[in-house]
Amino acid sequence: MLADTRIPGVRALFFDVFGTLVDFRTSVAREAERLLNPGGYRLDWLAFADAWRGEYQPTLEEVRAGRQPYVKLDVLHRINLERILPRFGLPALPEETMRELNLAWHRLDAWPEVPAAMARLKKKFLLAPLSNGNIALMVDLARRNNLPWDTILGADIARDFKPKPGVYLSACEALDLAPTQCMLVAAHSNDLAAAAALGLRTAHVARPNEHGPGKGERAPNLPVDVAGADLNDVADKLGA
């Protein structure tokens, strides 16, 4: 049913999500402002989003290194939220506010071209997120942004976080595909390097403004099979 591509043999595209498909920075800033502004809080909302995301890799590393058991990213986001609140002079907030604020990560908006590009890619490839986000979070982002996943793979399936090899390999295995039949699409060279080391094909998407204007990868720092200025460009180059 699914035709071959210009990269022979690729049957499935796996996607990094945070930064690659969705603009987490401005979305988290918007959600934080929406939920905290009515309480009279005035923050630098983008700095708040940056600080929250800044805790991401160190917290995940505790799990990757085996010092903490696997828990869903939602749980780690909550821990990191509690960690950064004092830095912004925020008091302990009501539980309902904390819960809603933590769900900011379920309400991220896709970069503008993503929904249409995904609809094109769906006709030619199996599509699944290969994200550190948990299944419920991925489902909410998919419903919000029309991401037409065939299934959700990634951290919750592997019970570990990228770039640990088992996360990529469990995704290939779930679809009964060899790594060479799978391509990771990501805006981050380190993610693509980990995938390539296991035999997956790679596609880089430029997101030059991921962490603010000019603060994102304009190009990969390693050889990749495809590099695109955005996801439509990747789709063009894959013949989708």
Q: Which residues are near a second copy by CB under 8 A?
A: 1-2, 74, 126, 134-136, 138-139, 142-144, 149-152, 156-157, 174-176
Cα angle 58, 128, 230; round to 5: 80
The closest of 122, 171, 132, 135 to 14, measured between CA atoms, is: 171
Q: How far is the CB of 44 from a second copy (least distance, A)?
A: 30
Mark residue 40 as left, alpha or beta (left: phi above 0; alpha: psi -120 to 50; beta: remaining). left
Q: Which of 106/162 has CB closer to a second copy?
A: 106
Q: How far is the CB of 1 from a second copy (least distance, A)?
A: 6
Q: To the nearest whole angstrom, how small is the minimum distance from the Cβ of residue 78 to a second copy?
A: 12
CA-wise closest residue to 185 among 148, 228, 218, 156: 228
Residue 95's SS3 state is helix
Decide whether 156 or 217 has the Cβ nearer to a second copy.
Answer: 156
Residue 59: CB partners within 8 Å, gap ≥ 6?
76, 79, 80
Tokens 């399936």 appear where? 157
Give me the phi and psi of 5, to 5 degrees please: -120, -175
Instruction: Give least dist CB 208 to a second copy, A.
Output: 31
Select 136 or 198, whichever has its Cβ closest to a second copy.
136
For a second copy, the closer CB: 102 or 232: 102
* Pairwise CA distance, residues 204 & 220, whole Å: 6
64 vs 159 by CB, closer to a second copy:
159
Shortest distance (Å) from residue 22 CB to a second copy: 16
Q: Which residue has the tokens 């909302």?
A: 45
Q: Which is nearer to a second copy, 181 or 232 (CB)?
A: 181
Cross-strand partners of 13: 127, 183
Q: Provide the minimum distance between the beta carbon of 69 and a second copy in the complex, in angstroms, as a whole number.
A: 15
